[in-house]
């Protein structure tokens, strides 16, 4: 595993290391994470970093620091809605989002096929007379799906996320 150190590495494949993730999950006494091997954790952090960039890559504020860097952070011209500049580093929110997604991976979730898993229909009833529709999903979506949690964590770092608004005025 090669962790992005804020220099725009061409070989980085994770936003954070096992030590950071261990501290993140130790603070919550998470035994699922604690019971995994370091190798399993590294694989999960790599997959989580890739998925985070896949989901948010075109939404991040600013631009990649260099064209050849592997991951989307660090960025330049990355100014959040509160006016803070996130140039030449990986924000803690990005690292925390990776930790959240990595927990999903070690818990058995395949992040790459999440949409298919969420849309699996278990039972379906359709009646035309007196209209009746019933659909049951094998994996129902709740309000706290992993990506909703991630949305909340990174909301200040994505375009039109969080409190960022655009004011229009007539000329």
What is the pLDDT at residue 160?
62
Between these two residues, 10 and 167, which has the higher pLDDT value?
10
Has residue 150 been placed in a domain? yes
* Statement: residue 5 has pLDDT above 60: yes
Has residue 118 been placed in a domain? no
Has residue 129 been placed in a domain? no
What is the number of structural domains in the chain?
1
pLDDT tens across 112-141, in order?
765 444 445 556 666 667 665 665 655 554
Has residue 11 been placed in a domain? no
Has residue 9 been placed in a domain? no
Has residue 147 been placed in a domain? yes
pLDDT tens across 36-94, in order?
999 999 999 999 999 999 999 999 999 999 999 999 999 999 998 889 898 878 999 99
Contacts of 104 (CB under 8 A, 6+ apart): 48, 111, 146
Note down the domain range covering 92: 18-112+143-157
Tokens 């990005």 found at: 94
* Statement: residue 143 has pLDDT above 60: no
């Amino acid at each position: 595993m090669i962790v992005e150190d804020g220099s725009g590495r061409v070989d980085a494949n994770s936003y954070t290391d096992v030590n950071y993730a261990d501290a993140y999950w130790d603070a919550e006494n998470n035994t699922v994470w604690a019971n995994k091997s370091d190798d399993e954790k590294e694989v999960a952090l790599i997959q989580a970093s890739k998925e985070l960039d896949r989901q948010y890559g075109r939404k991040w504020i600013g631009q990649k620091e260099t064209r050849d860097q592997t991951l989307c952070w660090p960025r330049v011209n990355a100014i959040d809605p509160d006016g803070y500049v996130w140039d030449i580093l990986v924000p803690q929110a990005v690292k925390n989002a990776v930790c959240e997604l990595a927990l999903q991976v070690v818990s058995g979730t395949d992040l790459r096929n999440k949409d298919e898993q969420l849309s699996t229909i278990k039972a379906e009833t359709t009646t035309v007379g007196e209209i009746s529709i019933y659909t049951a999903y094998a994996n129902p979506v709740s309000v706290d799906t992993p990506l909703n949690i991630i949305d909340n964590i990174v909301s200040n770092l994505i375009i039109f996320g969080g409190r960022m608004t655009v004011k229009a005025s007539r000329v």
